[in-house]
């Protein structure tokens, strides 16, 4: 039986847990070979076991996204091995400290900006040529409502997501008419993840969607049949649509 992503190659960042982990499993189940990138070796190995047990295939890339030179080399390595990239899920992010803006430390600011904004920009630079080699390159970047609706005490995280959104949409504007790539943002909303628990420690998570609930939308957005471009998709709108 043909699967919707048979023969495709998809890179997932932040693949060792949360939304990235669930999405990688769902994408593999849909037929894609997964290139799973994360810092946590144990989480990647667990993902690999899960994907292979279900009949899928996976390559592991243990990497800290703050090591920008490694991102720059990633495109060349993937080109040597696969010659193209069909899908990119840019999911990895850090929350940073929830604190007044004037209490934000330079160390925390740089960590949040490096992972949430600079790393996606470097991934675009490194992987754009590979996505162009696909007959239907697809890229999804995870975002947050605070990028457009700033919230007190969330300064570094909100700024990083706003900057990432702007950069991604500029790239989408540039390539929309000249390539087969479709680029979109995805706002999952509050989701039952470790990051959400850290941000909202008193919240009852039972009413939140799980990463497994979000994963089918990611599969849809990274499928070659998906034609939306340069848009921000909200999970809640999709779930009730």
Spatial separation of the C-alpha atoms in residues 229 and 220, rounded to whole Å: 13
Which residues are catalytic, by number?
157
Spatial separation of the C-alpha atoms in residues 143 and 48, rounded to whole Å: 26
The first and second tokens of residue 170, run together, are: 């500029």
Spatial separation of the C-alpha atoms in residues 11 and 74, rounded to whole Å: 11
Q: Are 89 and 214 in contact (CB under 8 A)?
A: no
Closest to 69 in 3D by CA, of 108, 107, 119, 110: 119
Spatial separation of the C-alpha atoms in residues 79 and 83, rounded to whole Å: 4
Identify the three-state secondary structure at position 184.
Answer: strand
The secondary structure element, H or E, covering residue 61 is strand 58-62
Question: Cβ atoms within 10 A of the Cβ of 171, count?
Answer: 20
b/e per residue 60-93 (b: at least 16 CB within 10 A) = bbbbebeebebbeebbeebbeebebbbbbbbbbb
């Amino acid at each position: 039986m043909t699967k919707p992503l048979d023969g495709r190659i998809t890179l997932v960042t932040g693949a060792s847990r949360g939304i990235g982990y669930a999405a990688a499993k769902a994408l593999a189940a849909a037929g894609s070979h997964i290139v799973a990138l994360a810092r946590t070796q144990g989480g990647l190995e667990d993902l690999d076991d899960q994907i292979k047990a279900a009949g899928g295939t996976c390559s592991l890339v243990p990497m800290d996204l703050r090591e920008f030179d490694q991102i720059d080399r990633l495109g060349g390595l993937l080109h040597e091995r696969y010659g193209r990239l069909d899908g990119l899920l840019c999911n990895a992010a850090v929350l940073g400290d929830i604190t007044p803006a004037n209490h934000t430390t330079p160390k925390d600011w740089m960590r949040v900006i490096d992972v949430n904004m600079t790393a996606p920009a470097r991934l675009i630079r490194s992987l754009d040529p590979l996505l162009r080699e696909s007959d239907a390159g697809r890229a999804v970047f995870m975002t947050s409502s605070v990028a457009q609706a700033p919230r007190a005490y969330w300064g570094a995280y909100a700024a990083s997501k706003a900057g990432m959104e702007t950069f991604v949409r500029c790239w989408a504007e540039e390539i929309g008419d000249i390539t087969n790539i479709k680029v979109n943002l995805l706002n999952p909303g509050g989701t039952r993840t470790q990051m959400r628990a850290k941000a909202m420690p008193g919240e009852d998570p039972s009413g939140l969607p799980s990463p497994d609930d979000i994963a089918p939308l990611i599969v849809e957005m990274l499928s070659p049949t998906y034609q939306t471009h340069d848009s921000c998709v909200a999970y809640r709108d999709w779930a009730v649509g």
